[in-house]
Every structure is written in C-alpha cells, then in structure tokens.
Amino acid sequence: MTRSVSSLGSAIAAAAILGSPDLPSGMGEPYRFLRTVGGFSAGDFAGLERGEAVARILDTDKREVAVVGAVRIVAPRERLLDRYRDVSSLRNSDIVLQVGTFSAVPSAEDLRGLTFEDYDLQTLRDCEPGDCGVRLSAEEMQRFKQGVNWRAEDWRRQAGTVWRRVLAQYAVDYLANGSGALAVYRNKQVPLSVAEEFGALFEESKYFSGLAPDFFRYLQEYPRAHLDGSQDILYWSKDSFGLRPVISLTHLTLYAPVAESALARPPAFVATKQIYATHYFDAALGLTIALDDGRSGFYMVCVNRARTRSLMSFTRGLVRAIVQRRSRDGMESILRSTKAGLERRPSAL
C-alpha cells in the first residue's frame, strides 16, 4: 500500500510539473526533451523521480531502430564522462567480448588483440561485389583476393593480418576525411553508402541541434569542424549480437562546455558514431546528454539510432519487433548499471 501511495504522489507531482508553463530549474529541460522526443508520460516522469530507468521505442521507418531512455543519477556528472572515457571498462559488459583503442595514427598493431570468427574468415574466400557475408567495399574485397593465399595452410592467419590492415586503414582515412572516407558497402547487389546512412540518422536527430548546435555541427563535419573542449576517441570492439559476433569501429566524442556561471551549467554531451560493422548494422548513432537536476545530481538522457537493411523484408516484421524490444531492455539495463556504478562512493568506483 505504501508503494501505491508513493507512486500516486510521484505521478501527481510529475503531472503538475508537465502542466506548469515554467518547469523548475534542472527538471524542465530534460522533461521537455523527453516529452517532445520520446513521448514520455506523467507515469514515466514519476518513475524517473523514484530513481527508475525508463526507455521507450521511437517510431521510425523499417530501416531504423531507435530507442530513447533516461535515469536520474545522484552523483557528479563528471563521473559519467570518466566512465565513457575509459573505453577499457566496456570489457565488463556481457555484450562486449574484446575492445581496444586506436593510436593517434592508427595501425594494425592497435588491433593485435582482435580475433576473427571462422565464419567471417571463410566467407571472405568467396567474397564478390554483390555477394559477401560481411560488410565490405569492393576495394576491400580486392585486398583480400590479392593479399591472401587461400590455398596455404595458414590462410586464416593471412586473412586476419589483411583484415587488421584493412580496419586500420579505414580508421586512418576516417580521421583524415570524416564522412568522406566512409565505405560504400558492396555485400549486396545494391551498393550502400554509409555516409548517406549517417545523413539520415543526423536528419532524424536534428532536435539535438537546438540544445548544442556547435556540438551537433562538429559531429556532422568532423574533422573539418573545430570545437574547443571536445575529446575524440576512436576504438574497435567485438560484440556479441544475434547469431554472430560483430566487429565494429566507433568514434566517441565527449563535450562539456565551460559554464558561464556556477549557478547554471550547460549540459554535457557524449556521442558514439559506429562507422563500421561486419554484420547487421549499416550505421549507428548514439547521443547522450547529462542535464543537471538542480539538486544533487543529473539526468542521463540517451537516444540510440541504428540503420540496417536486414529488417526491410516483410518476413522480418517479427524480427524487427524482437530487436526493438531487446534494444529497449538493453537501454534500461545500461541506464540502471550506470546509475548503480556512478552512485557508489568514489573509493568503490
């Protein structure tokens, strides 16, 4: 009974907040954002005030899966940025099998800890433009044909060596040219431009431009744009998804603008751009905002979007529903674990 009364009180408080023209300092901005972008209800906001993680699936076209989530964390928001900055901590996840960062000048040596699945190596033997079991450009497929003696006993080792070089070169080109270096995948009959997929993701995420126009422009125009106070990390990972592990390259950007006064700190931002993946994903964009709550902590608000051709066919309707549900559950799990980790005493972090 006590829980029911408490929940009712939280719901009434949230409804009153949403109905007021001037929302309280700290609570107003995240609530407006979540109501506008995610369609959060008074019940969702009541859950946030109880310390719960809340996530919702966004309405998108069949090519995209998107989820928005939030949680209130009673801790300094700097801990959140430190958590993202430590890429090695991803190894604690049940999903991430292997992970590593690239050097300022990426090389194959940065990927020495990466192992390849037999399925991926074997499918490369017969890869042709329009028919390949992994996402690669036509030029990259050609590198495997020329660089590997597929009849040799050590063809797996050779293929792994070439693949590390391919991934390292992809990283080098991206750091130099940004979206202009993103691949045109030829694993299917119809070529797919990763740059165009990111164009669609940014178009769907343009509501962020109002919160931080400089940050949003920086993400789109990297590396041509400049943003004081931003930090960029490029890393690789091998993750457990679906039937097969996925090797991916991700560009992580952290940005905490300097506050003009101690009373009003602007939001801090984290972005992840998955610029390459061997399976399932054509492009993915994650945007996280840390908004001060005006009390003793902050709201962590996340929007994750991923585009894939794998969900387009009519028979994929059920699969799409499963992916959406798992994405929502995964978002809530990440929000809960982040809250638990950041709210521990510093000595326990």
Structural domain boundaries in the chain = 51-344
Is pLDDT above 80 for 3?
Answer: no
Predicted local confidence at residue 11, as pLDDT = 36
> Phi-psi bin for 280: left (phi > 0), alpha (psi -120 to 50), beta?
left
- Please state the φ and ψ torsions of residue 77, each to the nearest 5 degrees: -70, -15
Is pLDDT above 50 for 18?
Answer: no
Asked if 305 contacts 318 with a C-beta cutoff of 8 angstroms, the reply is: no
Inter-helix orientation angle 2-19/42-49, to 10°: 120
Give 178-196 pLDDT, tens digit per residue: 999 999 999 999 999 999 9
Give 118-155 pLDDT, tens digit per residue: 999 999 998 999 999 999 999 999 999 999 999 999 99
Is pLDDT above 90 for 197?
Answer: yes
Kindly report the pTM of this predicted structure: 0.88
Share in percent of the chain as helix, strand, coil (round to 5): 45, 25, 30
Q: Domain 51-344 class?
A: alpha beta
Distance (Å, whole) CA 34 – CA 289 = 11
